[in-house]
Amino acid sequence: MPAISKVFIPAQDDAIAQAILGEEKRQAEGLELIASENYVSPAVLEALGTVFTNKYSEGYPGNRYYGGQTYTDVVESLAIERAKQLFGAEHVNVQPHSGAPANIAAYFAILEPGDTVLGMDLAHGGHLTHGHPVTYIAKLFKFIRYKTTEEGSIDYEEIERLAREHKPKLILVGYSAYSREIDYARVKKIADEVGALTMADIAHIAGLIAAGLMNNPVPLFDIVTTTTHKTLRGPRGGMIMCKAALAKKTDKSVFPGFQGGPHENTITAKAIAFAEALKPEFKEYGKQIMKNAKVLEKELRELGYKLMFGGTDNHLLLIDVSGKNATGKEAEKALDKAGITVNKNMIPNDPRSPMDPSGIRIGTPAMTTRGMKEPEMVKVAKWIDRAILAKNDEAELAKIKDEVKELCKGFPVPGIK
């Protein structure tokens, strides 16, 4: 357990100390299946609490607005160079505070208000920041949304048709609930035909790409955004990678265009996480993430669940639970009581609402970080099924929670004793 939660906080703020201890217990005793969550290493966790949190460093290495930047320049430069090496990027900006700010800054780097963007429909696996009508960004740019086919794959023919019809300034790929590989070369060809720029949001699969296990859009596309957590297993933050020709526009868009001072403690943690991802064992970790996801796919299919997009090529599964006489909301609530954390999620062409949809989304990064492998995934799949079927049976849910807790004793969370 990090010393800071045992020494300084309890002496000053017992309410916060108890909340921290409670969250540590929840994480240690339960299964984290939310596809966008992971556990950072003790070194990354430690970096977030360093004295870099005290430092304002507006600007970029070698060109700051404030003095005293000797060591901030060191850590930020290391983060940039390590990210370049990981992804083969020509230029990297590690200052975005998270994924959504990274996407918005990327838009403003290459678009003008009123420009047309072709991106994935949220209900088919896209993301809010890819132009959903509820977002403010949708008021500034004209978003045209493509969908998946009836078979559950990206409809490249529809992308081509819509691109020819609407002549977008930007074609956007990258998804928050899509579980298949992406043909970036085909998208690039379509974009070149209509004179569009290309952007990929690889937030979910960045770690698998860094490990060389999935297609890498960075050498092909004009601009690529990502979070640094999820499969990349770093701190909560964002990053933009782009062609050298867009470097100045991208940097100016992030600062001073969209953000103020960067969070150098988080950038320090990013640098450490990137160094971890450059190690050979990170590739093995990525392979295990994907193996674990395939086991869950097989087991859940055999248990009678309908899997969106026909299965998975990455770390996540989008599951229709309506065939088990449950909604996504009911499944999420039941699984939470059983010590298994998931998120409710809409499925393509979902007849239900976003807050009470037909599906749930699950992922394997966090469980894999704890060292769980194929045998544990078989158990997890069975627990998921039992909990959903027993959604109104408190005793059965409590029994599953005890079983989950017992398993978790053998797989500690990094940084938590």
Q: Closest Cα to residue 262, out of 73, 4, 45?
A: 73
Average confidence (pLDDT) over 170-179 = 91
Residue 212 lies in a domain: yes
Q: What is the mean pLDDT of the chain?
A: 95
Q: Which two tokens stand for residue 409?
A: 């004793």
- Hey, is 105 helix, strand or coil? helix
Contact 211, 291 (CB under 8 A): no
8 A C-beta contact, residue 380 and residue 340: yes
**What percent of the chain has pLDDT above 70?**
98
Work out the pLDDT band at 128, boundaries 50, 70, 90: confident
Catalytic (active site) residue 276: no
**What radius of gyration, in Å, describes the C-alpha atoms of the chain?**
22
Per-residue confidence (pLDDT) for residue 6, from 0 to 100: 64
Task: Read off the tokens for 49.
Answer: 């609490």
Q: Which of 201, 251, 313, 330 is catalytic?
A: 201
Of the residues 24, 37, 58, 336, only one is catalytic, namely 58
Is 361 known to be catalytic? no
Give the confidence band of 4 by pLDDT, cuts at 50, 70, 90: very low
Q: Is 230 a catalytic residue?
A: yes
Helices and strands, counts by H and E, the chain:
16, 15
208-248: pLDDT as tens digits: 999 999 999 999 999 999 999 999 999 999 999 999 999 99
pLDDT band at residue 2 using 50, 70 and 90 as cut-offs: very low
Please report the sign of the dihedral spanned by the C-alpha atoms of residue 103, residue 109, residue 110, residue 116: positive
Q: Does 266 qualify as catalytic in the annotation?
A: no
148, 225, 227, 369: which is the annotated catalytic residue? Answer: 227
Phi, psi of 292 (to 5 degrees): -65, -40
Please give the pLDDT value at position 242: 98
- Catalytic residue check, 186: no
Nearest alpha carbon to residue 234 among 269, 275, 260: 269
Per-residue pLDDT tens over the stretch 81-114: 999 999 999 999 999 999 999 999 999 999 999 9
30 belongs to a structural domain = no
Max Cα-Cα span within the chain: 64
331 to each of 11, 121, 339, 374, 387, how far by Cα in Å? 40, 24, 12, 23, 8
Give the CATH number, domain containing residue 298: 3.90.1150.10
From 180, 188, 233, 236, active-site residue: 236
| pLDDT for position 162 | 97
312 is catalytic: no
Mean pLDDT of 1-30: 85
In the prediction, which pLDDT does 406 show?
98
Cβ atoms 339, 28 nearer than 8 A: no
Which domain covers residue 380, as residue numbers?
288-408
Establish if 415 belongs to a structural domain.
Answer: no
Of 230, 324, 370, 391, catalytic: 230
H helix or E strand, kind and range, residue 225: strand 223-227
Q: Tell whether 322 and 185 lie within a shared domain.
A: no
What are 289-340's pLDDT values in tens digits?
999 999 999 999 999 999 999 999 999 999 999 999 999 999 999 999 999 9
Domain boundary among 277, 296, 313: 277
Among residues 222, 245, 277, which one ends one of the domains?
277
